[in-house]
Amino acid sequence: MIKVSGIRKVYRMGDLELAVLRGIDLEMNDGEMVAIVGPSGSGKSTLMNILGCLDKVSSGSYKLDEIEVTRLSDGKLARIRNRKIGFVFQSYNLLPHLNTLENVELPLVYRGTSNRKLALESLEKVGLSDRAHHKPTELSGGQQQRASIARVLTQSPSIILADEPTGALDTHSSKEILNLLTELNQSEGITTIIVTHDPSVAARTRRIIRIEDGLVTSDEPVNNGQEN
């Protein structure tokens, strides 16, 4: 359960103050699948980084599963990222010198519970077990994105944050990735938040939050009938 109220994010450049988020209020229930849309520069990525505990708010409150995240130390935030939040980035963000399996296992290394078998199972779930010992550079874009989703699966997080997950993929791979995310949302009940500017991606979710100029301008459920 995510509860955000009055979040502001201000960047200072000398005397200039640039407010990227100007007071965001949001609530997301467990198991929801949400799209955050908006033009570039609207603050949607900043919002995602804050939701993912990668960035800190200037003011406001962010409660994740009843925990006030804004007051946590760096160490505690790292722990939350490790256990509760799974990221899917546009650029996959796999470590180039580790093979697929090692990349998928990495969150468990930091958790201190390395488990090769679990990592292999995650790779199997995304249909990539035959690529376990390949380096990321030897995989296609779609395969790399599936590997990064497998990495999220080994974390078994309560939230998946996907920032333009299909931004660098062709239509076929995009469809695959979205199917995978939808499936995980439905089978594992993981809250899934997708940041995108692509209306067709947003349409695959069940709720679209529009952000413009650092404010929420609309927050509406998706009509299921529109799904193709």
- Applying CB under 8 A, which residues contact other proteins? 49, 52, 54-55, 74-75, 78-79, 81-83, 87, 93-98, 102, 106-107, 109-114, 151, 155
Cβ atoms 39, 74 nearer than 8 A: no
Given its phi and psi angles, is residue 44 left (phi above 0), alpha (psi -120 to 50 degrees) or beta? alpha
| Least gap, CB of 128 to other proteins (angstroms) | 18
Cβ atoms 159, 84 nearer than 8 A: yes
Pairing of strands 85-89, 67-68: unpaired
- Asked whether the CA dihedral 21, 29, 159, 157 is positive or negative, the reply is positive
Q: Which is nearer to other proteins, 40 or 223 (CB)?
A: 40
Q: Which is nearer to other proteins, 157 or 204 (CB)?
A: 157
Q: Which is nearer to other proteins, 7 or 208 (CB)?
A: 7
| Least gap, CB of 220 to other proteins (angstroms) | 29
Cβ atoms 197, 5 nearer than 8 A: no
| Least gap, CB of 95 to other proteins (angstroms) | 6
Q: Which is nearer to other proteins, 137 or 224 (CB)?
A: 137
